[in-house]
């Protein structure tokens, strides 16, 4: 009886509060601005797609992520273990959506602001070393993106542990780190239909072919140099 009384919900709730297990000062998220105008990536990606993608899709991930975090905060404060576990998939999906899209916007740049210019310096050298050439890397990422079933992402990442470049795909909104804790995203291509359907209909390979014309290799190089000193 004594043991049973120790694990009543009331005791757990009081215990959680008394040791401060709630997420004090809960941090929620807001939609980051794009570093360019919605129409600035045309003709590779239409302004209509960019606006909807940013204002509707990314915003929805953020709204639902914040909602899940607030529910998590409450569940932890109340010692509600079942709800804490139940919220994990919503946190992974919507938090992943926020993380991935925040990278994606920075992965792109208007053609008149350096978009599409091949990587220089250490990243350019590493790509030649690992994949043979930039063209070979692009072909590999395009092929993996075209073959990815359903919705997801194609990534060029740095494996910090083995100090090598990798190409990976992730399903749904899984961030690259779900494929390995030492993986850092350099470039991510969103291959959800919402990223291209209004312009390219069902022809994902054409979208993937054209996105390289607005790829921000300068951003990828900066991340690479920072993470691989």
Q: Which of residues 195-214 bind Fe ion (CB under 5 A)?
A: 195
Number of residues that bind Fe ion (CB under 5 A): 3
CA-closest candidate to residue 50, choices 131, 107, 126: 107
53 is known to lie in a ligand binding site: yes
DSSP symbol at 33: P
Minimum CB separation of residue 42 from Fe ion in Å reads: 18
Rounded Cα gap, residues 155 and 160, in angstroms: 15
Least CB distance to Fe ion at residue 57 (A): 5
Minimum CB distance to Fe ion, residue 47 (Å): 16
84-99 burial: b if 16+ Cβ within 10 Å, else e: eeebeebebbbbbbbb
What is the contact mask toward Fe ion in residues 174 to 193, using x (rule: CB under 5 A)?
A: ----------------x-x-
Residues 158 to 177 in contact with Fe ion, rule: CB under 5 A: none
Residues 6+ apart with CB under 8 A from 20: none
Chain residue whose CB lies nearest Fe ion: 190
Contact 38, 47 (CB under 8 A): yes
Of residues 101 and 221, the one with the C-beta less far from Fe ion: 101
- Chain residues binding Fe ion by CB under 5 A are 190, 192, 195
Binding-site entries: 53, 101, 190, 194
């Amino acid at each position: 009886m004594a043991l049973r009384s120790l694990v009543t919900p009331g005791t757990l709730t009081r215990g959680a509060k008394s040791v401060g297990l709630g997420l004090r000062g809960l941090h929620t998220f807001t939609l980051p601005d794009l570093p360019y105008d919605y129409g600035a990536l045309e003709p590779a990606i239409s302004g209509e797609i960019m606006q909807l993608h940013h204002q509707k899709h990314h915003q929805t991930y953020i709204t639902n992520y914040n909602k899940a975090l607030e529910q998590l905060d409450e569940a932890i404060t109340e010692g509600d273990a079942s709800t804490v576990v139940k919220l994990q998939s919503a946190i992974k999906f919507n938090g992943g959506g926020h993380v991935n899209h925040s990278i994606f916007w920075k992965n792109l740049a208007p053609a008149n602001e350096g978009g599409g210019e091949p990587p220089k310096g250490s990243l350019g050298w590493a790509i030649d070393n690992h994949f043979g050439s930039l063209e070979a890397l692009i072909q590999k990422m395009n092929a993996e993106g075209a073959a990815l079933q359903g919705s997801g992402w194609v990534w060029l990442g740095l494996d910090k542990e083995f100090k090598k470049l990798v190409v990976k795909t992730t399903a749904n909104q899984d961030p690259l780190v779900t494929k390995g804790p030492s993986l850092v995203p350099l470039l991510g291509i969103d291959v959800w239909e919402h990223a291209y359907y209004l312009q390219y209909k069902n022809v994902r390979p054409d979208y993937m072919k054209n996105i390289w014309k607005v790829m921000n290799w300068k951003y990828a190089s900066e991340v690479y140099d920072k993470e691989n000193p």
